[in-house]
Amino acid sequence: MRFDRLNIALLAVALLGLLSGLALLLAGRPDLSALVWTAGVLPVLAALVVEILRGLWKSEVGLDVVAALSMSAALLFGEALAAAVVALMYSGGAFLESFAQGRARREMRDLLSRVPRTATRHQGGALEEVALEAINPDDLLLIRQGDVAPVDGTVESDRAVLDQAALTGESMPVRVDRGQEVMSGSTNAGGAFDLRVTRAAADSTYAGIVRLVEAAQASKAPMARLADRYSLLFLAVTVALATGAWWFTGDPIRAVAVLVVATPCPLILAVPVALVAGLSRAAHFGVLIKGAKPLEALARIKTLILDKTGTLTDGRPQIVAIETHGDLSRDEVLHYAAALDQASKHPIAQAIVAAARANGAALPVPMNVVETPGEGVTGTVGGREVAVGGASFVAAQAGTSVPDSSVIAAGSVVVSLAVDRKLMGHIIMADALRAGTADLLAGVRRLGITRILLATGDRRAVAEAVTAGLGLDAVRSDLTPDQKVLLVLTERKNGPVMMVGDGVNDAPALAAADIGVAMGARGAAASAEAADVVLLVDHLDRLLPGIEIAQKSRRIALQSVAAGIGLSIIGMIAAASGYLTPVQGALLQEAIDVAVILNALRALRIAPETGAAPNPDSTHPGAIATSTDIDQTQASRCGPFFGETQRNQP
């Protein structure tokens, strides 16, 4: 804020000096007008010299040196009006930079401002308002209509309607049923609901997003560093051209005109404005890029390496088929299995319960429950003896052999059900491939990525079953974390590499890649920390708008640089040839400044053509498929999960 006030003050001084001097000139007092112009220039020149000295202290030579030379030379050779125009141009450019970057960060600032400070908690039959720091896992919160969820949790009411636009860019609210996850930062767009806290505020999704946004805002664009790196060359060319014009013509005013036209505000301002605007735009589509350097690198990716579980697949068990072997229907098989599984905390059991509830089933309370860890559960449901678990466990309870199943694929999990000691059916569960994956990979190739690989620690048969028909360039299975790192390093020979993953075991590979992308909504904290890009929701297709925005932002930045340099060089040649006076050169450079910065701001209006509006109903991370909405043939694309697995089944 202090620097914003300084920029405003310097702009006011320069503008007042220029206008006052012009007024005195029109009044017939050219002597006083020159003094007033000089008085308006000196504060701006002094501030500029301080910035240059600070850069030299850090061993940085920036393009501000040319601006300082142009003002100093103009004052030295009596061109006070030209110096005043340059001072106004430079102070106006600094103010415009502050304004433009503030505009570009508006969406990020809105994200930060939405952080709730308190929450309403159920306590002893009453409601109390508490600070976020006082909220602990397993607390029960009341989220009223219009409230922002302050922490991550699960829905304890029948359902909730959430607006996740601030996190994901999805314009339509999504419905979240009982037991499904809610990301902190989501706005309650429906009636009040209860939220069971699963993470403390400091560990929740929104808090992590805020920390990542703050880190992204503090970054400096690598293209800006590139401009600084070559500033000595630009400075040398400028000084040589100015000196040559003076040497061959004997007119120092031509040298002043060259220096004035060479003032490099477009290079100083346009690149960071375009890239920061790109960061903001990507965040609008649920892609958090941790700075300008990753944004630029993302635009140049040639190889994509994907993890499987939780990335290419959903990462949770889903029902892909229900088989019956008795007089119960499919719905009844699911009903009895879910009723008994209410007593188990096993992920498979919880997925079955959630699927039954999603179908609207009213589940009775099981009685006489006995759980055999790793094998199954027995108990009484509605007066009938029920056993649920692995096929061998249930077959032993029913006194039968394990029958074959026609839909079991590599990596799928069989949950068997026996009622009154008779085998009644199987529930086939798997880690299903994410919807729209084939379209996603085709879109990625259209954006210029030439190689796509799968890197997984799973067995070869499972990896091949998941990726059948996807057209990947290679499948690497049975990999340890260090082998994933080696794969990333090996693939660099084909160009910059992007690695996408969600687990702790993916963190080393994410850090080793040119761009690491983490599935941020449910991924491990280690992967989010190691990654350069975090997808704020578990939709892999968010990669498409992220890459497209990065490419277009970089293209806009390069356009601004090329236009600024090209126009400046033309103006410098014209000034050296005597076609531009210092005042005319200063006005020309002012017009160049405005043009290239306005061009850089176009990054705020980038409209991705691919993957910008996924269907929240089909891809929401809380969705759990059931036997009624998944065709059995989808079992051919499955991944491993807990419990018994079937290998290489036809």
Going along the chain from its start, the domains and CATH numbers come out as 2-106+215-278+550-605 (no CATH), 136-199 (2.70.150.10), 290-310+434-535 (3.40.50.1000), 318-430 (3.40.1110.10)
Given 228, 307, 431, 593, which residue is catalytic? Answer: 307
pLDDT along the chain (650 residues), means of 10: 69 90 88 90 89 77 75 87 83 65 52 69 89 89 89 89 66 78 84 90 68 51 53 76 89 88 67 81 84 86 86 75 87 93 83 87 89 84 91 83 53 84 87 78 92 85 78 87 88 90 74 84 58 80 91 88 82 89 82 82 83 40 28 29 31
Contacts of 211 (CB under 8 A, 6+ apart): none
Give the neighbor-by-neighbor strand order of the sheet with 174-177.
Answer: 174-177, 159-163, 187-188
Count of CB atoms within 10 A of residue 186's CB?
A: 26
Count of CB atoms within 10 A of residue 487's CB?
A: 20
Give pLDDT, residue 648. Answer: 31
CB 323 within 8 A of CB 425: yes
**Residue for token pair 């006070």:** 80
Q: What is the rounded distance in angstroms from the CA atom of residue 213 to the CA atom of residue 283?
A: 9
Give pLDDT, residue 277. Answer: 83
3-class SS at 356? Answer: helix
Give pLDDT, residue 301. Answer: 93
Nearest residue to 550 (alpha-carbon basis) of 488, 496, 474: 496
3-class SS at 415? Answer: strand
Q: What is the rounded distance in angstroms from the CA atom of residue 565 to the CA atom of residue 563?
A: 6
Give pLDDT, residue 43. Answer: 92
Contacts of 72 (CB under 8 A, 6+ apart): 45
Contacts of 334 (CB under 8 A, 6+ apart): 319, 322, 352, 355, 356, 359, 361, 427, 626, 627
Tens of pLDDT, residue by residue over 324-377, are 888 889 999 999 999 999 988 777 888 899 889 888 888 999 999 998 866 789
Q: Is 514 a catalytic residue?
A: no
How many residues appear in the chain?
Answer: 650
The H or E element spanning position 222 is: helix 222-229
